[in-house]
Structure 1
């Protein structure tokens, strides 16, 4: 019996080990951390005959396959497996290979930012059309758990990590939302990162791309008949915006002379230009699968935005406080910063090798102040000094999670009536928080404390 090594006891790694063990395969999990969660997962898996080796970064003897759930190519375990001739695949690639006959088709979506929102919009449209659908992949539910279930269709969010380790995926349709520098510490360069994203197109039945994004447009160029979406008036073969309407000129009987209204801008929540692009990408994928226009509109109306994405926390003293903690890279922060006209910006964290000069240069006219925290706040401060030297800046050196109370206090001091205090960090959160949700929750808690102090008269 062949042996599979699984790298890591995260959500996806645990799911992979369980699925393979239930299929009667031999499985050994290699995990660096022996924390409470990992030990509990290992105990649960042991009942299925899965062995877990903690701290031992070595490929088990006899392994013929290693399944990774996001570990970088240069990780010692991955490098050792490849040197030994052991096949390395990702969880998503494994899921594709394990699909049963007549398995649900995949509508796949990737991009630097907006993936989760677009995939959830897509799922809402599919459900509104009466299809049994599920959002899977990077959005939460591991694909390897979902492929054996009797769904009509899967809406699959794919990260660059997952695509890097995928080689045979053939989705019904695939879309790229946008491409911007991110995870360069993992991929090594922007071209390598973009190449990983482009893998989603290689065997796709329909290729869908953001015609307003030059990098996404270049990646789709080799595919005749690719369908673009744009915030402008669409040409034949595109989806786009006409006045306040979302319009389809691709999935109609006559793309040259006909168009079909899908929804209105008022149907999109929260409204922001990048969210319109998310809605158009979702609509293109849905339409490629035969979803009627009325279900696209109803899906958008039924869609409930996830937390920490331009979430309006409160309005205090004519100042709005908005949590966009999910903006973990400069491209995501840029989208948020264009959504407001007068901003006190809360930013900082781990930039993961990304540059922030263009972000700050473009945002400078909108900035009324900035409060910076986290590991790479100094790089953002330097960019503000170069491109917005007159913007008041507060540097919060405290790295404790309680620092967010001071962050909000300082932001409120800088803000004037009509301003928006915007937490859109442009960096990852793990230098100070358990993740971007914890960072957003800390911000919201600090805003509530600010309101309480104001109401007490302090």
Structure 2
């Protein structure tokens, strides 16, 4: 176990004053832990005071928890500041804390320290990457459960890592999907095995435009005992080479070199732990080459913690893909309608589009500074038509005019859920029998919807309404 013999960084204690920045899911978990510990808690947000759940209101009334809006700096005597992952390092409160000598950490770092401080720290398995994290950690969870272990994926999916560490009955492994934001604020985490799936442009607004800073945070997942990376992706491959881990395992969708996992004779093949063929590629869901490497990556993490090859095969067969991830919604007049609203950046959309031969593509939303040209250029020959929506639709339209000028394109204006009905109707007019109408927006959703899930739900509702009228 990485660093098991070293003394973990300090934990907050009863009576300490701790500032919690952010009152979202992870922030609430931190507040509950601190209240139970007997710490004094000051909760703030970047614009308005967070609204706490009813079970914490008695602590507010007693003075154990104080809520303020837009705190500029931690008060004198602050022992620790725990920030939600959405707060970038340039946030004035965090800058002021660092300048005043107050340590700033995230909820995942707190969970790690708490686990390390126990008598039986667990093996952590960490999944990160720009795309594919949730599918991969879901596959990992399914494999570990097939091995008979008590595990529920945590972190950027499901529930906070702190709640997983504190859960009863005890979680036997910590399987964590971690974003770059979470890794940034978790400097001590050294997993038993960590994985980077890929690295492409995303969240550059959080990093002040620096791709190097974004990549450096992702690379923190590879600082434990075993580093795993999909070497078909240049960014992830470079991170694996640079990793300080004692053991490095490559993942590829091709025939694997010695010591790697890949595809051989139509099977997922383990050449790292000596198990050979694991299961046929045809048993992997959802469709797409990227999900083959996701499955291989999940297998590598599980095998690194002693799980059998039989459990790997069983878990991958039992895995149920999450909603809004390349899910077929309906077949109407010979046209398949597929929801991949989770494709919130160009790289994710490219993987989704590559799974189909002829596509009417529904795209648009918030590109967050990412370039769309490479994606459009790479999939132009697959496009039967494109329907655009959202704030950055004009940018995608410009890329289409440069790289796919002969593809029929339509932009649908509007900012409400009703727009999706018009979008689906427009896509239907472009689709022929055998085509796929694919929602793979290549952009975030918050310009029009509350989340990518809400966007996907709107698409599903529009498709089903269309089917009812046929």
Q: Smaller-chain TM-score range?
A: over 0.9
Partner residue of 1:190? 211
Does the CA contact (< 8 Å) of 1:66 and 1:81 recur in 2?
yes
> Do the aligned partners of residues 16 and 431 (structure 1) sit closer, same or farther apart at CA in structure 2, a change above 3 Å counting?
same
Distance, in Å, in 2 between the alignment partners of 1:42 and 1:357 is 48
Q: Which residue of 1 aligns with 2:436?
A: 420
What is the count of residue pairs matched by the alignment? 447
Q: Is the 8 A contact 2:286 2:326 kept in 1?
A: yes
Closer/same/farther in 2, CA of residues 452 and 435 from structure 1, 3 Å limit: same
- CA offsets, 1:132-168, max 9 Å, x none? 2221111121001111332211111110000111111
- Change beyond 3 A, Cα 1:35–1:453: farther
Distance in 1 of aligned mates of 2:78 and 2:390: 41
Question: 1:419 and 1:59 mapped to 2: Cα distance?
Answer: 57
Q: How far did 1:439 drift? A: 0.1
**Shift in CA distance, 378/44, structure 1 to aligned 2, threshold 3 Å:** farther
TM-fit CA distance, 1:226: 0.6
- Note the residue ranges of structure 2 that are not aligned, 5 or more in a row: 1-14
Of 31, 45, 56 in structure 2, the residue corresponding to residue 17 of structure 1 is 31
Does 2:145 correspond to 1:127?
yes
Match of 2:9 in 1: none
Write out the 4+ residue segments of structure 1 that deviate beyond 6 Å after TM superposition: none
**Counterpart contact for 1:14–1:41, Cα < 8 Å:** no
Contact 1:30 1:57 in 2 (8 A): no
* Partner SS, residue 321 of structure 1: strand
Aligned to 1:256: none
Matches of 1:445 and 1:352 in 2, distance apart? Answer: 27
**Match of residue 158 from structure 2:** 140
Please name the residue that 1:236 is paired with: 258
**Which stretch shifts more, 426-435 or 261-270?**
261-270
Distance (whole Å) between structure 2 residues aligned to residue 444 and residue 352 of structure 1 = 25
1:255 aligns to what? none
Give the whole-Å Cα distance in 2 for the aligned partners of 1:311 and 1:43: 41
Q: So what's the TM-score if we normalise by structure 2?
A: 0.92
| Correspondence for 1:215 | 235
Deviations for 1:352-409, whole angstroms, at most 9, x for unmatched residues?
1111110000010001111111111111111001000011111112112211110001
Q: In structure 1, what is the equivalent of residue 8 of structure 2?
A: none
Tell me which residue corresponds to 2:422: 406
Q: Aligned residue for 2:6?
A: none
Q: Is the 8 A contact 1:404 1:443 kept in 2?
A: yes
1:436-447, aligned counterparts within 5 Å?
Answer: 436-447=452-463
Give the Cα–Cα distance (whole angstroms) in 2 for the partners of residues 44 and 325 of structure 1: 40
Q: Does 1:352 align with 2:374?
A: no
Give yes or no for the alignment of 1:84 onto 2:100: yes
1:227 is displaced (CA, Å) by 0.5
User: What TM-score comes out, normalization by structure 1 length?
Assistant: 0.94
Cα distance between partner residues in 2 of 1:272 and 1:53: 47
**5+ long unaligned stretches in structure 1:** 253-258
| 1:378 corresponds to 2:394 | yes
CA distance in 1, matches of 2:18, 2:33: 12
Contact 2:139 2:316 survives alignment (8 Å): yes
Q: Displacement of 1:180 after TM fit?
A: 0.8
Alignment correspondent of 1:62:
77
Contact residue 142 and residue 315 of structure 2 kept, 8 A: yes
The alpha-carbon deviation at position 215 of structure 1 amounts to: 1.0
Distance 1:197 1:36 in 2: 29
Residue number among 92, 101, 108 corresponding to 2:119 in the alignment: 101
What is the Cα-based RMSD across aligned positions, in Å?
1.7
What CA distance in whole angstroms lies between the structure 2 residues aligned with 1:378 and 1:42? 46
Q: Is the 8 Å Cα contact of residues 147 and 311 (structure 2) preserved in structure 1?
A: yes
